[in-house]
Amino acid sequence: MAAAALQRGLCFRSDPGKAGGMETRSRKRQVVSFFLCLCVSLVASETIHYSVREEKKSGSLVANIAKNLKLDVGELSGRSARLVSKSTKQYFELNTGSGDVIIKEKIDREDLCGQRDPCLLQFEIVLENPLQLYRMEVQIDDVNDNSPKFSKNEFVLKMPELIPINTRFPLERAQDSDIGTNSIQSYAISANEHFSLDVHSRGDGSKYAELVLEKQLDREEQAQLMLILTAADGGLPQRTGTAQIRVNVLDTNDNFPQFSQSVYKVQLMENSPQDTLVTKVEASDLDQGPNAEITYSFGQVPERVLKLFQLNQFTGEITVLGIIDFEDAAMYEVEVQATDGGGLSAHCKVLVQIEDMNDNAPEVTLTSLTSTIPEDSSPETVVALFSVRDRDSGDNGRTVCSIQDNVPFALKSTLKNYYELVTQKPLDREKVPEYNISITATDRGTPRLTSVRIIRVQLSDINDNPPVFNEGSYVMYLKENNHPGLLIGTVHAADLDTEQNAKVTYSALPGNIGDLPFSSSISINSENGNVYALQSLDYEQTRDFQVTVRAADGGSPPLSSEVIVRVMIIDENDNAPFILYPLQNSSSPANDLVPRSAEAGYLVTKVVAVDGDSGQNSWLSYQLLKATDPGLFAVGLQTGEVKTSRPITSPDSVKQKLIVLVRDNGEPPRSTTSTLNVLLVDGFSDAYMQLLDVPQEEEQQDTLTLYLVISLSFISFLFLVSVVTIIAIRLYKTRQCRERYVPSSRNCYFEPNFPTNPADRSVTGTLPQSYCYEVCLTTGSGTSEFKFLRPLVPSLPADPSAAGGSILDSQINSELKGEKESLRELSHKVAILAKMVLKMQLFGLRQPSVEAALRLLKPEENGFEPGTGDKGLRGKGSWKNYR
């Protein structure tokens, strides 16, 4: 029978049977209790009562909780309804599809509860989302399925023949496992003329019978009587049990044993060890001889008492036989019978009060658990719901619950003996990925007993950590002329998150290496961070570069970090030395003149060379590889200076051919040679020079030099005339503009702040008014450095009187600017050519051909970039011949 379920979300008294007691409380306590119930975080409900008869088969219906709780049937399965039993054995199960609570296993009330009444089974219905708890209580009703049963089939009573009328003889009670009306209700004895049966009730409602002597016995008339004792219960149908009573009539024994106390009361601590003395009963008999010999035995006691206590039949000492457990029974009533040698007996009661001992540790029962929660869970998030129970009583059964201090969790008490485990502080999976929370339940007994239940709570990851590179910046080295696809190095970033949030991909941010984007030269593997060179790099063009690498994780949204990777190009010896002087691209080598009067150490000439490599690869050394007379000349190892090693003598040949080897210091070393022709002469006069056997080709070169000087002079004259003409035209146009656009005209545009003098503008050009050029020579060249002449025509500022010029004036300035730059460049080229001719004449060197001079005047058509310093020299290489 189900009690009416309370409305959801309110707190009521848990047991209607206790309503009378609650009404006796003060109004103030009722108000406080009501508000405390409203503060409970879970939805509380009173205990719902049901009843079911024992021995029902499995699958029988107990109740429909959906109707009783006023819940929709679909809500049970949607909210993960489940039945949690309070007992160790699961007797009921919940059908979430129909809301029926059915019997899972056949119930035997006698095995479950014994003589305890009522026999109750408790369980709870747990609903989630939101979490709700309903207490259920099922009373197991007794069925008359056990017949009364005596401990023996026959009882022997010895009675003296002279015992008085109305003497009573207690008979052993029959045992019936059923309770209530199904237990023993009556006793009956077979018809006879000597005895009757008197039935009595104990304080607990149980029945017992006494055999009453109605007629004096006469052993000579009848020495033995056979009686049938019948015990009947009150069930339907009624069940009975019988035993035979054999009465042996003895000779006269007119004194009964007498106990010193009719009732013995003793206290016994539970868990007392075996053979512990409980008490000692004593009886005496005034007879003598065998009739005074007394033996003790248990009277009408349940079978369970016989398993717990034993009685010494001679001394009357009652000792512990089994395990005494307060939780099974708090008191035992034991009947002791004393019988003398003549068969007379007396009876007394021994009441054993069991004292509770703190021998049961608290039990932690987990009701609900969320084993994995996200690391960004907010405080007060419910992780687990559990209850604590202690089977002891009093302070021994009162418990306190706690967890360790070093965890970001806390316990909150909800219903009686129920607790919630909730989050208290922010969580971080990267610091602590999981927690083993020890729930410690301790009672208040002496000594205190403790039980520990460990709950494992894991944190699920969220993307809250960006990838972190293992270095603040990377420096990688790559040799020039590398093979495409060569691995340069590896960048690595680690992410403290897990799974997809920790998957790192690498990429390079957009940028350039010179004029080319990174993507054409560098590639980064997105999976492992390997950096590859996609093409061969040249140290002489690019010595180093930087690329920014980004590492992004796979979270949502993704997090990233960046690092700078600097790639250093390592130089290789891939450039041979280049001869700057003497020129090596002419049809015949140059001739150097040495007077025969020269002493040892006379400087003949100097070989000048450069190397496009750097460092050790560019260190040059000079040596004389081959000579007409090897002992006449020597070459400076570091300077390249060619000097005489001894005085010149008459036998020495007029023509001396020297081959100088220039070698760098790379590995492997690279070299080149320079061929020198030296003429030994007695003097430098023209008359003497004509007497020398000079090849016809050299005479033609002298004539060409004359033509070249005449051409340069004519070009310089034309340049001066052009400059004067341009200046005159500009002044003329400026004057006309002022006369045409007067300030009084309405159509004249006048801007006083417009700058008319280009020299006044704060713009720094690439060409200043004076130019300085230097020849690249090795150490020890002495006075070989020199400067070019200034440009023939300096930059002319605009007329200061044109400060208020018109728009036309600015247009004229822009038109003349191009012409002026062209003239300046031409002047620059002429100065270079003139300087070279003068130097060659000064040292008596072979003059360049007309074609070489024209190529010099137009270097941009031959891939040269004059005026750009070292970068111009490192173009296609031929410009080095003219420096």
Give backbone dihedrals phi and psi of 240, rounded to 5 degrees, phi first: -130, 160
- Cα 881 from Cα 801, distance rounded (Å): 48
* Beta-carbon contacts of residue 582 (< 8 Å; ≥ 6 apart): 589, 590, 605, 607, 674, 676, 845, 846
Strand 207-213 versus strand 195-201 pairing type: antiparallel
Measured CA distances, 651 to 603, 647, 692 (Å): 21, 12, 17
Average pLDDT over residues 701-709: 73
Q: State the DSSP code for 881.
A: G
The answer to which of 340-349, 394-403, 827-836 has the lowest mean pLDDT is 827-836
Q: Terminus-to-terminus CA distance in the chain, angstroms?
A: 119
The answer to which of 458-467, 555-564, 838-847 has the lowest mean pLDDT is 838-847
Q: How many CB atoms lie within 10 A of CB 318?
A: 24
756 pLDDT more than 80: no
> What is the model's pLDDT at position 815?
53
SS3 category, 689: helix
Q: Are 399 and 441 in contact (CB under 8 A)?
A: yes
Higher-pLDDT residue of 584, 109 = 109
Three-state DSSP string of 617-670: HHCEEEEEEEECCCCCEEECCCCCEEEECCCCCCCCCCEEEEEEEEEECCCCCC
- Cα 707 from Cα 690, distance rounded (Å): 20
Confidence of residue 174 (pLDDT cuts 50, 70, 90): confident
Average pLDDT over residues 640-659: 87
Please choose, from the candidates 107, 194, 100, the residue with its C-alpha nearest in 3D space to the C-alpha of residue 143: 107
Q: What is the DSSP string of 63-93?
A: EEHHHHTT--HHHHHHTT-EEEESSSS--EE
Higher-pLDDT residue of 96, 483 = 483
Average pLDDT over residues 657-681: 87
Tokens coding 572? 């290789």
pLDDT tens figures, 846-860: 444 444 444 444 444
Q: Which residues pair with 513 in a beta bridge?
A: 516
Confidence of residue 295 (pLDDT cuts 50, 70, 90): very high
Average pLDDT over residues 568-589: 78
> What is the model's pLDDT at position 733?
84
Give backbone dihedrals phi and psi of 411, rounded to 5 degrees, phi first: -105, 140
> What is the model's pLDDT at position 701?
57
> What is the model's pLDDT at position 493?
93
236 pLDDT more than 80: yes
- Cα 132 from Cα 45, distance rounded (Å): 9
pLDDT tens figures, 83-119: 888 777 888 888 877 888 888 888 777 777 877 778 8
pLDDT tens figures, 419-467: 999 998 888 888 888 899 999 999 888 888 888 999 999 888 888 889 9
Q: Are 847 and 837 in contact (CB under 8 A)?
A: yes
Q: What is the DSSP string of 766-798?
A: SS-SS--------TT-GGG---PPPPSSPPPPP
Tell me the average pLDDT of the chain: 76
Higher-pLDDT residue of 736, 414 = 414
Confidence of residue 870 (pLDDT cuts 50, 70, 90): very low
pLDDT tens figures, 793-812: 333 343 433 333 444 445 44
The answer to which of 145-149, 573-577, 833-837 has the lowest mean pLDDT is 833-837
573 pLDDT more than 80: yes
pLDDT tens figures, 315-358: 999 999 999 888 888 899 999 999 988 888 999 999 999 888 88
Q: Are 65 and 75 in contact (CB under 8 A)?
A: no
Measured CA distances, 206 to 169, 178, 209, 635, 683 (Å): 18, 11, 10, 140, 162
> What is the model's pLDDT at position 832?
58
pLDDT tens figures, 16-31: 333 333 333 444 444 3
Q: What is the DSSP string of 832-862?
A: HHHHHHHHHHHHTPPPPPHHHHHHHHSGGGG
> What is the model's pLDDT at position 38?
39
Which amino acid, one-letter code, is at 754?
F
Please choose, from the candidates 37, 97, 34, 33, the residue with its C-alpha nearest in 3D space to the C-alpha of residue 64: 97
Tokens coding 144? 């008359």
